[in-house]
Structure 1
Amino acid sequence: MISFFRRFFQSKIGLPIVLAFLALIALAFAASDISGSSFGGAVSNSDKIAVVGGEGIPVSDLTLGANTAVDQLRRQNPTLTMPEFVAEGGLDEVMRQLIDRYTIGAYGEKYGLRGGENLVNSEILKIQAFKGLTGEFDEQTYLAALARQGLTPAMFRRDLSDGMIEQQLLGPAVAAPRLPEKIAAQYAALVLEKRKGEIALIPSASYAPAAGPSEAQLTAWYKDNRTKFIRPERRTLRFAVFGTDTLKVNATPTAAEIAERYKRDAARFQASETRAITSFVVPTQDAARSLAARIRGGAALESVAREAGFTASTAEPRDREAMAGATSFAFAESAFKAAEGAIVEPAQGTLGWYVARVDKVVRTPARTLAQATPEITEQLTTEKRAAAIGDLTAEIEAEIDGGTALAEVAKTYGLTIETTPALLANGQAFGRPDVQIVPQLAAVLQTAFQMEESEPQLAQVQADQFVIFEVARVEEASAPPLAEVRDLAIAGWKRAQGAILAKQAAERITAKVRAGTPLAAALAAENKSGFERESINLERRELLSGRQPRVAPPLVLMFSMAEGTVKPLEGPRDLGWYVVSLEDITILPIAENSDVVQQTRQQLGAALSDEYRGQTITAMRKDLGVTRNEGAIAAVRKQLAGEQ
């Protein structure tokens, strides 16, 4: 990718705004999470954003759909704001999906298709997010999940019903379409297409005025461009971190408790014996006795086993019970009768007859209460401390649930309260890149950005660490007063003015190149610094290789232009204009029955499905009739963008 493209495409959420993730309207359930938007409900004539076949789409559906979309996208970009989402076209995509979904449902009902109540019930019962601790459908879990999304059961059931109608209507239309081979060959040839040309960048900065705007100009410009300065939501947290080592609890066991544990675990402190053996298994008793006799006569057990076609294995020391469980009771009895280094009398197990040698005998004498006391004390201390910590944290949680303030809880239990700077949802301190939050807060940050103010919570963040935290202050996503971003606003105004002149320059340069002037000469004639020009000589498949996450728009334009043409292209965020000149197109021949053709047919299958689906829904819209309420849509847009 040519270097100067990179600087122009570092927008916060990208262009477009990953609309592929907006599968919002068809409710999806994954990892026990519910996402979606609502449909249906009573609609007044003044409270709808569109009418589909006589049925209105409530304004609330669009608002809820947009909020759900932003929530989903924040999983990839936690600092995304609603105004940014609207500015990048997200609301338009939600609107389109809403109308499509209503269209499909209304069309299906018009022609006799329906998602019956029993079928909807069966689908609800299958959804993992609605299952309780028993693994079965739980009504309270179901209702709570819907409430978290602002849905009523009627809305949700309507959406499921529409989804089933969609499957019935569109399933046959988009099921595994096959691109005709001749068409696939045409597309496959494009992959081998090579384009040669030049791309120039005319930066707005080269034409930006040196003098700043007047106060009136700056104020008016900032009013019209406030969304460019939106600051994401910030939250200030108060918290106290504590661990099992800092809480004061009495975990020292008494002499009576130690004696009771010694009595309870008496078998553990009795004299014991373990034995390590090396053995192999043969199919018959005669073979086992014959081989054991050879080993007793001086031959090595491992050699005898190998010569007989078996493999000897060595086991770690085990007591009689463990050995009996791993082999057989008869063998364990024989093994514990033999002396260390002796050959065990052959005994039968489940797999055959064992031939074995006792490698090592480990005898542990019995321990008195006094001898066992240190071990028991350590064990009881750990258990009592864990139980006491559990009781103490339960007390703290009960106080929090009862409404006790964080400061009072901290004072009662000797905890130190700390306060964070204003934090973004990704954990960074707003405007202070040098500040790092404590690691314990990272585990609760997502929860903190969903809480109300002054409602503390307790969380265990590690096996031995806890944190009590609350939201001390919420600063909603909004554009700051002009005074706080005055320098940035002045720079933005200059850039915007420069962009107007850069556009005019791009048009002059384009006209000259079309008339036969070389691009380099046309650029030089502007007599401005900061221009960049780069020669391009690329095959289309280099763009499709996947090495770049997103192909720069100037290259996209170059690969869609006619040979010998020149076109200007606006860069993002008033940063400048491109002039794209395509000199030559070379298409390499493609062999018949080439693998590339078959791969192309396969790869374009999904695109063909999308095309069929889009065409089918367009036909449904035409049949039903769709009327948009642009006034209501504009009002929602302004509200979500923070303009009213």
Structure 2
Amino acid sequence: MIGRLLSEVARPKVHEKARSQAMLTFFRNFFKTKIGLAIALAFLALIGFAFASMDVSNTGTFGGVAGGDSVAVVGDAKIGTAELNQAVNDALAQARQENPEATMQTLLAEGGLDRVLDDLITRYALMDWGESNGLRAGTNLVNSEIRQIPAARGPSGEFDTDAYNAFLRTNSLTDSQIRQQIRTSLYFQQSIFPAIYGAQIPESIARTYARSFKERRRGAIATIPASLFAPDGDPTDAQLSEFYTENRTRFVRPERRVIRYATFDSAALGDSVEPTDAEVAAFYRENAGDFAAREARSFTQLIVPTREGAEAIASRVRAGESFAQAAASAGLRTTELDDQERSNILSAASAGVADAYFSAAQGEVTTPARSSLGWHIARVRAVDTQPAQSLAQARAGIEETLRETKRQRGIAELAVSIEDRLADGASLTSIVEELDLELQTSPAITAAGRVYGTSNEAPAILGSVLDYAFQIDEGDSEIGALPDQQTFLIYEVADIAPSAVAPLAQIRDEVIAEWRRVRGDQAAEAAANRILKRVEGGQDLAAAVAAEEAAIRPPQPVNYSREELARLGSTRVPAPIALLFGMAEGSVKKLEGTGDQGWFVVDLEDITLEDLEENDPLIAQARTQVGQSWGNEYAEQMLAAMRAELGVERNAEAIAAVRRQLLGESN
């Protein structure tokens, strides 16, 4: 629960202009791990605004849903049906970030409604308990946290009202929503964080957990593949219809959309980017200094505290000694100045130094001149003199500069103009015709970026806008910049086929294949049960497997220590091996495989423990890892105590009505 409290927050709408979304994505992924949770709690005050999806007003009703407009009461606070409905839709949006083809049916089938409601109840309990026990999150504190939101800062790095308002608009949030959710995170920090911070375990427990890494387990694993038991023939029409009816959620088609689109770049501006004679002349006048004659010099420079010292060094250099040697003999070091104009020396030193440096010939040592830093002398290493450029001589470069400036400004203004016109109701077709663009239509594509019903990818040019294209309504038109930032895409959703269960007649072969797979899996489970029963009756696993009529491969012996598994990494440990390390010695268990793997029967024969050294590093590792787990358990228990103290009542009828509404069923 504590992990979901922080991680299951809905993602705000994705748009190509919303670069601040990356921060929200980072925090959500970070909170999915318990270790990440323990570290991230210290930064709760900065990420409170990520709870924004759960701040839907609970004062509205659900338009006649049976059972009233409250799905639960926490203390004196009510959680409305509208709030639960919105929260589940937000949870679906978040799920689609990881699996673009996730559907409401699959989310609810996996217990999503109950999880979301549990988290809403926990949030309400946290707020109510905090306020009842004197915790505070005042306006000034909330304001200070808002100022820490990176997307709310302007070019100077300070809080900027316009940037903050743009952040709210981009993420479809209100100021009150942000403030309420920051208060929620502050209450969490004040109540839960002190209870779990620095959780420690006794040395004896740390040693016990550490020694478990020295544990070695030996046994055998039998694999019973489902494909071995899959029926060869087809089901009868009655069997197929019954199977289809009972397993409708297996055959949900993902939502697919047809998108019409066109692209444009600076070519759409035509001759408007070409500079006129008047513009070229004005640019030449306004930047006259860039075209005037200039002289740039490079120097080897030395600054000496006294005039006498500077004159002595200059005399030695003029007599043939190198500048570096003369400086070193006086305990000083030269510096190199490259491509300096008179204005550079004037601003860095003084007018006298500038006069001396620019009056000497190339190769000469300058006359000592004073600045606030001391007495300057230098050798003129190089002189670069460039004559003034006439308008005719500078024209080509000016035209190129003006052309690029007008192109960038023109394409940006055109994009903004199109965006405004689309917002005002202009059609995509009218804009395409006006700009003489080629209008293209995509095939039906899914949110995963594939052409529906095939393995083909959606048109690559739609990749950068696909997420947002699956959030807008049918007929809506939008504009977006492509990754090169030079080309723009205008598009509209021409047709939406919602996610729904496919008719049996259209997917008969697919349903038959699934029927075979499921029946094979059921038969494999039955075989696993028979094998399990034989082993429990005294047979060894190899003999129990051999007793089956199907040609099941002999069991595979296994012999691992926990240290060996730790080196593999948790994501690489096969599920049967993981089960082996959760069983009692001498026991046997079955395990369902993933996909078409079928079933496993795991037999644990014996467990041995190796010795643990007094200062084994595993002890410190166990102390840290188990301490973090204990901290999470403390948080779970404290939140449960808050709910128990306040009292929670659920309205089963209203919850069922929300479920029907989410599935599009009649009430």
Per the shorter chain, which TM-score range?
0.7 to 0.9
3-state SS of paired residue (1:487): helix
Q: State the alpha-carbon separation in 2 of the partners of residues 139 and 265 from structure 1.
A: 33
Residue 553 of structure 1, CA deviation:
3.3
3-state SS of paired residue (2:475): coil
For residues 239-254 of structure 1, the aligned pairs below 5 Å read: 239-254=261-276
Deviates further, 393-402 or 410-419: 393-402
What do the CA deviations read for 1:354-408 (whole angstroms, capped 9, x no partner)? 4421111111112222222222222233333344434433443343233221111
Deviates further, 417-426 or 127-136: 127-136
Q: State the alpha-carbon separation in 1 of the partners of residues 171 and 364 from structure 2.
A: 74
Residue 158 of structure 1, CA deviation:
6.9
CA spacing shift, 1:350–1:198, aligned 2, 3 Å: farther
Residue 106 of structure 1, CA deviation:
4.9
Q: Is the 8 A contact 1:114 1:161 kept in 2?
A: no
- Amino acid of the residue matched to residue 89 of structure 1? G
1:482 to 493, 504, 524: 504
What do the CA deviations read for 1:117-160 (whole angstroms, capped 9, x no partner)? x72675267335796979366899499669936x895x887766
Q: State the alpha-carbon separation in 2 of the partners of residues 173 and 267 from structure 1.
A: 68
CA spacing shift, 1:475–1:156, aligned 2, 3 Å: same
For residues 482-521 of structure 1, the aligned pairs below 5 Å read: 482-521=504-543
Larger % of helix: which?
2
Percent sequence identity is 36
Partner of 1:316: 338
Q: State the alpha-carbon separation in 1 of the partners of residues 447 and 620 from structure 2.
A: 46
2:479 to 455, 458, 462: 458
What do the CA deviations read for 1:495-531 (whole angstroms, capped 9, x no partner)? 2112221111101112223344332333233242464
CA spacing shift, 1:93–1:579, aligned 2, 3 Å: same
- Amino acid of the residue matched to residue 456 of structure 1? S
CA spacing shift, 1:299–1:132, aligned 2, 3 Å: closer
Q: Is the 8 A contact 1:285 1:346 kept in 2?
A: yes
What do the CA deviations read for 1:23-81 (whole angstroms, capped 9, x no partner)? 9xx99947989433547437896343344457553333332222222323333333333
CA spacing shift, 1:256–1:60, aligned 2, 3 Å: closer
Q: State the alpha-carbon separation in 1 of the partners of residues 606 and 60 from structure 2.
A: 60
Q: State the alpha-carbon separation in 2 of the partners of residues 531 and 19 from structure 1.
A: 42
Deviates further, 442-451 or 350-359: 350-359
Q: Is the 8 A contact 2:51 2:181 kept in 1?
A: no
1:564 to 571, 575, 586: 586
Partner of 2:40: none
2:493 to 468, 471, 484: 471
CA spacing shift, 1:241–1:515, aligned 2, 3 Å: same
Gaps of 5+ in 2: 1-28, 38-43
1:148 to 172, 175, 181: 172
2:389 to 367, 383, 407: 367
Partner of 1:113: 133
Q: State the alpha-carbon separation in 2 of the partners of residues 426 and 398 from structure 1.
A: 30
Partner of 1:235: 257
Residue 620 of structure 1, CA deviation:
4.2
Two-structure CA RMSD over aligned residues (Å): 3.7
Partner of 2:113: 91
Confirm whether residue 41 of structure 1 aligns to residue 59 of structure 2: yes
Confirm whether residue 276 of structure 1 aligns to residue 298 of structure 2: yes
What do the CA deviations read for 1:577-599 (whole angstroms, capped 9, x no partner)? 11111122122222335432222
Gaps of 5+ in 1: 1-16
- Amino acid of the residue matched to residue 66 of structure 1? V
Q: State the alpha-carbon separation in 2 of the partners of residues 376 and 51 from structure 1.
A: 71
Partner of 2:9: none
Partner of 2:89: 67
Q: Is the 8 A contact 2:265 2:411 kept in 1?
A: no
Confirm whether residue 356 of structure 1 aligns to residue 374 of structure 2: no
CA spacing shift, 1:352–1:190, aligned 2, 3 Å: farther
Confirm whether residue 442 of structure 1 aligns to residue 466 of structure 2: no
CA spacing shift, 1:430–1:114, aligned 2, 3 Å: farther
The normalised TM-score by structure 2 is 0.82
CA spacing shift, 1:21–1:81, aligned 2, 3 Å: farther
The normalised TM-score by structure 1 is 0.84
Q: State the alpha-carbon separation in 1 of the partners of residues 182 and 389 from structure 2.
A: 69
Q: State the alpha-carbon separation in 1 of the partners of residues 453 and 328 from structure 2.
A: 73
Partner of 1:123: 142
Number of residue equivalences: 620
CA spacing shift, 1:60–1:305, aligned 2, 3 Å: same
CA spacing shift, 1:572–1:91, aligned 2, 3 Å: farther
Q: Is the 8 A contact 1:192 1:540 kept in 2?
A: yes
What do the CA deviations read for 1:216-259 (whole angstroms, capped 9, x no partner)? 22122122222223233222211111111343232333333333
Q: Is the 8 A contact 1:458 1:467 kept in 2?
A: yes
CA spacing shift, 1:627–1:572, aligned 2, 3 Å: farther
Q: Is the 8 A contact 1:510 1:566 kept in 2?
A: yes
